[in-house]
Amino acid sequence: MQGPTQPDITTREGFAAAAAPLERLLLSVSYGVLHSWDLAADAAQSALLKGWRYRHSVKDAGSFKPWLVKIALNESKNMARRGITVELPEDVAEKSTDRELRLDVREAVYRLPEKYRLPVMLFYFEDMAVADIARALDIPAGTVISHLHRGRARLREELKDYGK
> Among 7, 85, 91, 115, which residue sits at the site for another protein (rule: CB under 8 A)?
91
Q: In angstroms, what is the minimal distance from the CB of 47 to another protein? A: 9
141 binds another protein (CB under 8 A): yes
Nearer to another protein by C-beta: 95 or 159? 159
Site string for another protein, 55-84 (x = CB under 8 A): -xxxxx-xx---x--xx--x--xxx-xxxx
Q: Are the beta carbons of 151 and 121 closer than 8 angstroms?
A: no
Q: In angstroms, what is the minimal distance from the CB of 52 to another protein? A: 4
113 binds another protein (CB under 8 A): no
- The Cα–Cα gap between 44 and 40 comes to 6
Closest CA to 73 of 29, 123, 28, 129: 29
> Among 33, 76, 118, 123, which residue sits at the site for another protein (rule: CB under 8 A)?
123
Number of H helices, E strands in the chain: 9, 0
33 binds another protein (CB under 8 A): no
88 binds another protein (CB under 8 A): no
**What are the start-end ranges of the H helices in 20-129?**
23-34, 37-53, 61-81, 90-93, 100-110, 114-120
Amino acid at 96: S
> Among 80, 85, 95, 145, which residue sits at the site for another protein (rule: CB under 8 A)?
145
